[in-house]
Every structure is written in structure tokens, then in C-alpha cells.
């Protein structure tokens, strides 16, 4: 008796189903693409950077054996994370972890203090220099003075690297652990966009628009940022 052989159509169908399942699994549990929409993380992350977010790294583990085998870790100070915005969980935000549970966080003249000690932040960026320590300027301005506050259990204090242009924990409070989606891993593409309103009109033919798109892809891609790890 001849061996059973799958039809070519069925083999293609099964391959597509498996590929879709794997893609959905990876999208749901492992990695997610994310685009930087604002300048709150400049100069580290720029508007138009496209990132891959590791969603698996902060997954919960039940035993010590799982923690020793699986590539998971706890959230650390300095991690750049993507999370659901507490005031609108349908939106994703990206910020840097500054305060861990139990930390006392304070901002003095734009400088961060953790438990009374200044935090070294080589990544930080200011649109305007901090006020002089002896000056009363900035009192009441959350960009200059904030806290001290104690981070509650299972929550985090997060801030944008661009301290003068970031809606973060100074304005909406602490970030619950359950809203964290993952850690930003790498920039896979970066595109410097511009106003396209005049580009799509102006009487250009379809062919000319097509080649303009191709040209713009090469001229507006920030090639030096491709595959840049996020720190």
C-alpha cells in the first residue's frame, strides 16, 4: 500500500498556519515593534526611531529553577521600558526607570537624588540649564524641584531623558508593575520624517511620487542609528 502523502496545497496551508501562529506568539509574548512619536527621550531616542521591545525579559517566574534557565530579569534602575500609560492604557509610553520600590526620589534644581544621594545620569538632556543652587528660581516648577517621594511596593518612578519635555512620573505619579510591557532592546530603523502635506499634491504623477518615496527612504533614513542598542 502506498504511503499517505499530503497534497501540495495542504502543505502550503499548514506552513502558512504555523507561520502565522509563530508570528502571533512572537508578537504577543516575545518582541514588539514600537515607534518613537515624541522628543521626550532625546537625545538618546529620536522622533522616528523604530524599536524592538523585549516583552519576555520581565515575564514572571514561579520557581528559582525557571529564573536560572529562562532569560528573564527584574526591572532595574536605568532600564528603558515601554508601558501602558496609566491614565490611558490604550496608549504606550516609553521612559527610563529612575526610582525602584522603596526608593526616596527627589529632584533638586533638575538633579535627581535617590535616598539623598545624587544619581549619575550620562543620558540626561536639558532644553534649558538647571537653575543655580542658590537661586529661588524654579520653585513650584516640577522640572526644577520635586519630592521627596517614596516609591510604593510594586511600582516605579519613571522619567524621560529629555527632562524639560517629558510627561512622566513627576506629573502623573508612579507606574504600577502590571502596566510594564517590556524593555527597549534595539533600534531596527530610524527615519527623519518631514511635513508631507505638500509632497502628496502639487500635480506630481504617480510615477514621480513613487520615485520620490524611494529617494526619500534612502535620504531620510538615519543609517548610523540602525541596529543601535538602547542603553
CA atoms of 187 and 193, how far apart (whole Å): 16
Count CB-CB contacts under 10 A for residue 52.
Answer: 19
| Catalytic choice (6, 7, 35, 40) | 40
- Specify whether the CB–CB gap between 162 and 40 falls below 8 A: yes
35 catalytic, yes or no? Answer: no
- Specify whether the CB–CB gap between 118 and 111 falls below 8 A: yes
Range of weakest confidence among 18-27, 136-145, 212-221, 222-231: 18-27
Res 194: pLDDT:
62
- Specify whether the CB–CB gap between 147 and 109 falls below 8 A: no
Superfamily of domain 8-194+224-229: Umud Fragment, subunit A (2.10.109.10)
The total number of residues shown for the chain amounts to 231
CA atoms of 124 and 78, how far apart (whole Å): 11
Report helix, strand or coil for 13: helix
Q: Is pLDDT of 33 > 70? A: yes
| Catalytic choice (55, 95, 110, 190) | 95
95 catalytic, yes or no? Answer: yes
Q: What is the pLDDT of residues 67-104, one digit of tens each?
A: 444 456 789 999 999 999 999 999 999 999 999 999 99
Res 56: pLDDT:
80
Cell of 154: 510594586
Instruction: Write down the domain spans for the chain.
Output: 8-194+224-229
Amino acid at each position: 500500500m502506498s504511503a499517505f502523502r499530503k497534497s501540495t496545497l495542504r502543505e502550503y496551508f499548514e506552513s502558512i498556519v504555523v507561520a502565522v501562529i509563530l508570528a502571533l506568539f512572537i508578537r504577543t509574548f516575545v518582541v514588539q515593534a514600537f515607534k518613537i512619536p515624541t522628543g521626550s527621550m532625546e537625545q538618546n531616542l529620536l522622533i522616528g526611531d523604530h524599536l524592538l521591545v523585549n516583552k519576555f525579559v520581565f515575564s514572571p517566574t514561579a520557581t528559582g529553577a525557571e529564573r536560572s534557565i529562562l532569560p528573564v530579569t527584574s526591572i532595574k534602575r536605568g532600564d528603558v521600558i515601554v508601558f501602558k500609560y496609566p491614565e490611558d492604557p490604550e496608549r504606550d509610553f516609553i521612559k527610563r526607570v529612575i526610582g525602584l520600590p522603596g526608593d526616596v526620589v527627589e529632584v533638586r534644581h533638575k538633579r535627581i537624588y535617590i535616598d539623598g544621594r545624587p544619581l549619575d545620569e550620562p543620558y540626561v538632556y536639558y532644553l534649558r540649564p538647571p537653575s543655580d543652587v542658590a537661586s529661588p528660581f524654579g520653585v513650584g516648577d516640577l522640572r526644577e524641584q520635586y519630592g521627596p517621594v517614596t516609591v510604593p511596593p510594586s511600582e516605579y518612578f519613571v522619567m524621560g531623558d529629555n527632562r524639560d519635555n517629558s510627561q512622566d512620573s513627576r506629573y502623573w505619579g508612579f507606574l504600577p508593575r502590571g502596566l510594564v510591557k517590556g524593555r527597549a532592546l534595539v533600534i531596527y530603523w530610524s527615519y527623519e520624517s518631514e511635513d508631507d502635506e505638500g509632497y502628496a499634491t502639487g500635480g506630481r504623477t504617480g510615477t514621480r511620487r513613487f520615485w520620490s518615496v524611494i529617494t526619500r527612504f534612502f535620504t531620510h533614513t538615519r543609517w548610523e542609528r540602525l541596529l543601535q542598542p538602547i542603553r
